[in-house]
Structure formats: C-alpha cells, structure tokens
C-alpha cells in the first residue's frame, strides 16, 4: 500500500500519476482539512474536493479547483443580498457542499462523508481527511501588512490572494484533534509514504499538527519520501516559496529538506536543482533527482513510480 500526504493542486496532480502508475485501490490519500471553512452556511473542503474532482477528471483544469464548465448563477444571485462573494462556489460544486453539510448535520463524521463523495465520483483510491475534528489554519500577517489579528485561511489565500507577508501560521483545534480512522494504520502499514509536492507550511504542516501523525511518520522515516514543491527556488503554484522565506526557512530545495528532515528520509528534487543535491544530503536526507514538474499525467506517473522506488530502496538498506 502507498500512502500519500496531500494538500491542494500539486497533490491532486501527483495522485493522478499514482493512479496511472499503481492500482488505485493500493493508494491511500491523507488530506489536509486546515483550509476547510463554512461558506454561506455550507461546509467546504477545498483540498478534498480538488483531489476528488481531479481524480474523476471533472476538475476545472484551468483553475485547478472547482468543476469544469461550472457556472456561478447562485453566487451571482447571492450578490443581491450584499454579502461577501469573493469565494466563488460553482453551481454544480454547491451540490457537493450541500450533500456534505447535510450529512455532517446528520452526525456522520467527515471521513464517512468523504468516502461517500469519493465513491459517488468513482474514485478507486481511499480518501481520508487528516481528522474528523475541526482544525483550521489561521494566518497572522507581518506588521505593516495593514491587517492586524488573525485571518481565516481562505481570507488570506483567496480574498487577499496571499499577496501579503505572513508572520505566523497556526492550526486552531489541532491539539484536540484525533487522526481520522485509518490514518495512522495507513502510515504504519504503507510500503512507502509519499509527502506530495504540496506547500509544506499550509498543506503538510496541518496534517503533522494532528497528534500522533508526525510520530507515526518518524517511526517509518526511512520509508517516507517527500517531493519538493519548490523548483529552482520558486513554487510552481501558490505561496510556498514566500511562506518558507517569511517563516524563517529558505525558498529552495534545501529549505524544503530542512522542513521535512525530521520525518522524511528522502527528498525528491527536480533536475533543475541537481547542483543542490549534496546540500540536501548534508541536511540529513537521501536525495533523488528526477523531473518533478507534472506537465502531463505521464510525467506525474513517472514521478510517482520514481518516488515509490526511492522509498522502497531506502527502506531496504
């Protein structure tokens, strides 16, 4: 079994590759829920939905989230009431949020609802939220950003387009949260655990903040392979490079290596960073070099096979 720790769009692309390279029923995705929020009374799970829509090939490929060819008539109709409308929920996307919100209100845990939604979209992989309890990423901006106090994640990411310097990221509720059923087993039993090329700060750290998960990874560290979301000093999508720098790390594969060294034995980096291979090794991880920019499902499948092989090799020595 292969277990993948996942965040948003980069993880969804890797999972597409995983499902092309391996039998989907052998793959378990443990997904960040720190981005979740209640929007217009509906419970929205951006990372779970991005993965579900991508693996069912129904995602809006241009955006990387939401459903392809969706409309926003409901959001437009909502604007008459004057409330916030910056978080665009598509008309057909709303059905997912309505179904999930109703089931949660029935008292069904998020992990159960997630499995129902995944099944309805025909997914072969097992999709697990990191926790059934509420964990919310909260962002405190740096002084001078003009906004004091803490922001909800989507406020930072969407409304402010993450174009503001961050001083602190925390995960409200994490200390009281439990790993969702199956999460710890999927780490303990995995042949290889892959940390997807997701933002280490806002997509992977929330998962590690759920008590028990980081320790479970450390116990299998030689089988944990992280794929860098930073290539040639920049994030392929989103604020990973800026966040690493703003939070004291450095926006390079060496910075990613330092972020993951406690729980990952291997870091996979892109050929463009080949010159930094020894610097990554000096941080204390094995380093494997390949093409990590997933421009097609075929490249993603090659990357998935490469990462799993690296984990199997490391686990054998």
Q: Which residues bind ligand FO1 (CB under 6 A)?
A: 7-8, 35, 44, 46-47, 49-50, 65-66, 87-89, 93, 154, 157-158
Please state the φ and ψ torsions of residue 82, each to the nearest 5 degrees. 85, 0
**Nearest distance in Å: CB 228, ligand FO1:** 17
Burial group, residue 226, by CB count within 10 angstroms (0-12, 13-18, 19+): buried
Residue closer to ligand FO1 (CB basis): 162 or 263: 162
Cα dihedral value 198, 127, 137, 242, nearest 10: 10
Rounded least distance, CB 214 to ligand FO1, Å: 21
C-beta separation of 28 from 4 below 8 A: yes
Please say which residue, 48 or 280, places its beta carbon nearer to ligand FO1. Answer: 48
Tokens 């948003």 -> residue: 8
Question: Which residue is listed with tokens 């991508």?
Answer: 54
Which of 93, 132 has the CB closer to ligand FO1?
A: 93
Shortest spacing between CB 303 and ligand FO1, in angstroms: 19
CB of 13 to ligand FO1, least distance (A): 12
| Strand-pair category, 166-172 with 42-44 | unpaired
Q: Which residue is nearest to ligand FO1 (CB)?
A: 8
Q: How many CB atoms lie within 10 A of CB 102?
A: 13
Identify which of residues 201 and 285 has a Cβ nearer to ligand FO1 in the complex. 201
**Least distance (Å) between residue 115 CB and ligand FO1:** 18
Kindly give, in sequence order, each residue whose CB lies less than 8 Å from that of residue 91, ignoring residues fewer than 6 positions away: 70, 71, 72, 73, 74
Nearer to ligand FO1, 40 or 305 (CB): 40
DSSP state of 109: -
Cα 132 to the center of its chain, rounded Å? 16
Under a CB-based contact definition with an 8 Å cutoff, are residues 245 and 265 in contact? Answer: no
**Dihedral sign from CA coordinates of 1, 296, 157, 72:** negative
Q: Report the nearest approach of ligand FO1 to the CB of residue 105 (Å).
A: 19
> With respect to ligand FO1, which residue has the nearer C-beta, 19 or 201?
201
């Amino acid at each position: 079994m292969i277990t993948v720790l996942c965040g948003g769009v980069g993880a969804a692309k890797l999972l597409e590759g995983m499902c092309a390279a391996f039998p989907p029923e052998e793959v378990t995705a443990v997904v960040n829920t720190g981005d979740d929020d209640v929007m217009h009374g509906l419970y929205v799970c951006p990372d779970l939905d991005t993965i579900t829509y991508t693996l069912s090939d129904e995602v809006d490929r241009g955006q990387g989230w939401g459903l392809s060819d969706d409309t926003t008539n409901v959001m437009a109709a909502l604007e008459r009431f004057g409330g916030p409308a910056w978080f665009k929920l598509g008309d057909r996307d709303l059905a997912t949020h309505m179904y999930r919100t109703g089931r949660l209100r029935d008292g069904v845990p998020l992990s159960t609802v997630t499995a129902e939604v995944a099944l309805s979209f025909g997914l072969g992989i097992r999709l697990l939220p990191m926790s059934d309890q509420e964990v919310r990423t909260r962002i405190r901006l740096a002084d001078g950003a003009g906004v004091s106090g803490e922001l909800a994640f989507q406020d930072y990411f969407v409304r402010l387009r993450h174009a503001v310097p961050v001083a602190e990221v925390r995960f409200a509720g994490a200390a009281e949260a439990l790993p969702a059923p199956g999460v710890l087993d999927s780490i303990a039993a995995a042949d290889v655990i892959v940390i997807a090329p997701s933002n280490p700060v806002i997509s992977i750290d929330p998962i590690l903040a759920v008590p028990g998960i980081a320790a479970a990874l450390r116990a299998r560290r030689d089988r944990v392979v992280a794929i860098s979301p930073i290539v040639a000093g920049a994030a392929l999508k989103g604020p990973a490079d800026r966040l690493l720098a703003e939070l004291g790390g450095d926006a390079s594969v060496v910075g990613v290596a330092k972020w993951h060294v406690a729980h990952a034995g291997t870091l996979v980096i892109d050929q463009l960073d080949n010159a930094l291979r020894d610097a990554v090794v000096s941080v204390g991880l094995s380093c494997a070099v390949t093409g990590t920019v997933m421009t097609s499902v075929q490249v993603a499948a090659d990357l998935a096979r490469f990462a799993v092989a690296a984990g199997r090799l490391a686990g054998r020595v």
